[in-house]
């Protein structure tokens, strides 16, 4: 699975009808709203995209559109370990409306989503196999219940030795796709449904959004350097005649 999302939406209720009837938004109106959610940042035009391919933009890029009764933004800055801690200025920008945050990252199998209704946090969930359940606020939605009930367990990967039980009752990305469908009406890698929105038909304007002081870029470089220091040497595996995976030494690559 390679699904990644970094979504923020403000909507007058259910955003799915707005996405289903989406048309190309006016650039100037969209730019003004991008500046509102990123106050103090430098905002410049960038290449456009679609909702299918733009849910997880590169650093410093924002994709956005203005719909009938809704606005949608794609930006990695909205991926929060604790989605309930969405910055106050963003909650203010969506005051009186439904606010939806949805983030997934396939590299660490992380899912985080949250929903506010008229300023009240209704649900927030954040979990990954390594970090466990970081946040679990509010009553689970109906689409979550089969997962919490153990109806979608993670099966062991064939061929790997010493696999303990998966630390969660389900795979976060599996639930993430269900949350994406329930809250936004489309999926990225899950099995499509005839009722799903065609995300590749939803146009997004692109903007390069940068921190004029360069603090974000410096912080990213420092985080990358720390990650390199803590990484061990690469390990390689090969399937043996018995169908199981065995680690191989560098000189046998």
Mean predicted confidence (pLDDT) in 48-59: 96
Of the candidates 99, 124, 80, the one whose C-alpha atom is nearest the C-alpha of residue 15 is: 99
- Domain-wise residue ranges, the chain: 4-252
Confidence of residue 252 (pLDDT cuts 50, 70, 90): low
pLDDT at res. 191: 79
What does the alpha-carbon distance between residue 64 and residue 206 come to, in Å, rounded to a whole number?
Answer: 7
- CB-CB contact of 11 with 69 (8 Å): yes
Average pLDDT, the chain: 89
CB atoms within 10 A of CB 186: 24
pLDDT at res. 233: 67
Strands in 110-117's sheet, in edge-to-edge order, are 42-50, 203-210, 61-67, 70-74, 4-11, 98-105, 110-117, 120-128, 132-137
pTM (2 d.p.): 0.87
pLDDT at res. 1: 47
pLDDT at res. 73: 98
Mean predicted confidence (pLDDT) in 124-140: 97
């Amino acid at each position: 699975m390679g699904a990644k999302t970094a979504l923020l939406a403000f909507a007058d209720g259910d955003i799915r009808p707005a996405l289903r009837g989406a048309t190309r938004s006016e650039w100037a109106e969209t730019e003004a709203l991008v500046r509102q959610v990123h106050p103090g940042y430098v905002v410049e035009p960038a290449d456009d995209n679609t909702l299918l391919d733009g849910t997880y933009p590169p650093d410093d890029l924002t994709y956005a559109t203005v719909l009938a009764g809704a606005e949608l933004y794609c930006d990695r800055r909205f991926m929060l370990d604790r989605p309930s801690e969405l910055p106050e200025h963003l909650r203010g920008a969506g005051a009186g409306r439904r606010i939806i945050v949805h983030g997934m990252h396939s590299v660490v199998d992380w899912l985080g989503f949250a929903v506010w209704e008229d300023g009240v946090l209704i649900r927030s969930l954040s979990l990954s196999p390594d970090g466990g359940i970081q946040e679990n606020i509010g009553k689970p939605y109906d689409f979550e219940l089969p997962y919490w009930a153990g109806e979608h367990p993670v099966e062991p990967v064939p061929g790997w030795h010493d696999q303990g039980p998966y630390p969660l009752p389900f795979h976060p990305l599996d639930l993430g796709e269900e949350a994406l469908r329930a809250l936004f009406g489309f999926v990225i890698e899950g099995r499509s449904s005839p009722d799903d929105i065609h995300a590749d038909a939803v146009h997004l304007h692109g903007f390069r959004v940068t921190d004029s002081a360069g603090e974000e870029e410096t912080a990213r470089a420092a985080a990358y350097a720390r990650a390199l220091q803590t990484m061990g040497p690469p390990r390689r595996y090969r399937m043996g005649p018995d169908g199981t995976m065995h680690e191989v030494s560098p000189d046998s690559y």
